Homo-oligomer: A and B are copies of this chain.
């Protein structure tokens, strides 16, 4: 099959760590160019801006947008208006309203828009979803705790309002939970702890319930000493499912069903290729909506200053 010509917008840490290796081994994509005013990838032409890249390479069929969140909307609009397929890194935008507008635009253009939630492509997520499909669920516990100094060194932006603080990793947990649980769930109570010198929370305690009243509790914390805890436990009438290590390991009642290497981005690009070839979009706003809901309805408590 012909490879899809793709350009990368934004050449930052996530692109070097994940997108470039995934594209290098992808049977579906051929990386043509990058656009970033401050960085480039030596093997392909680099342009300062998306517009320049699109002009120089009319053969581009798709772009992956990995710039800081507040820049994504206008870049995605330009690309969609020029008929390109668009992948948005997570979260898909700085606000829900702008992503809704991109969805409308993609629909009216007949183009592909893909809101990429990379954690959904962790190896054990699909099997966890299947196992839970028909089970009666009693309680869900989401534990997502890591040391911000280890996992986000020097990322001062994470403490700004749009940086989302502990929701930056927490939204990954929510993207998995909304994928594997058979019913939608809704926030009932939220507490956020915000360092007195920061705008975004360092910890969050969220209580949701689903349409049947099943409790879903989430504990997000940036103050966890290493090793990190990225686990979701689901108590059902047929036993306790544990999705561990960010979705790499699946256990039922402590018995291991799957333990595999993390390969999220190859899976994510395989899905994007499928969507591009079928001319379909996939934009699930549920994870970002839960974070917005928590921001809207949470009780905020000041906590001690964060000094890296």
Contacts and interface: CB of A to CB of B under 8 A. Distances in A.
A96 B164 CA distance: 18
A96 B199 contact: no
Nearest to A99: B186
Interface string A202-226: 0000000001000000000000000
Contact size class for A?
20 to 34
B289 A100 contact: yes
Contact of A161 (B161, B289, B298): B298
Contact of A184 (B97, B293, B296): B97
Contacts of A190: 161
Number of this chain's copies in the complex: 2
Interface string A90-110: 000011111011001000000
Contacts of A73: 186
A131 to B, nearest CB: 24
Contacts of A291: 296
A286 interface: yes
A296 to B, nearest CB: 4
B292 A96 contact: yes
B101 A211 contact: yes
A40 interface: no
A149 interface: no
A110 to B, nearest CB: 18
A3 interface: no
A182 to B, nearest CB: 14
Contacts of A244: none
A215 to B, nearest CB: 15
Main secondary structure of the interface of A (DSSP, over half): helix
A292 B286 contact: no
Interface string A68-85: 000001000100000000
A145 interface: no
A94 B184 contact: no
A184 B98 CA distance: 9
Given A77-B211, A292-B292, A297 B94 contact: yes
A249 interface: no
Given A101-B211, A186-B73, A292 B290 contact: no
Contacts of A275: none
A177 to B, nearest CB: 12
Given A77-B211, A286-B97, A296 B295 contact: yes
A162 interface: yes
Interface in A187-201: 187, 190, 199
Nearest to A69: B297
> Which 8 A-B pairs rank lowest in CB-CB distance, beginning with the nearest?
A95-B293, A292-B292, A295-B295, A98-B186, A295-B296, A292-B296, A97-B186, A95-B187
11 contacts: A95-B187, A95-B293, A98-B187, A100-B184, A161-B297, A199-B299, A199-B300, A292-B295, A295-B295, A296-B296, A300-B300
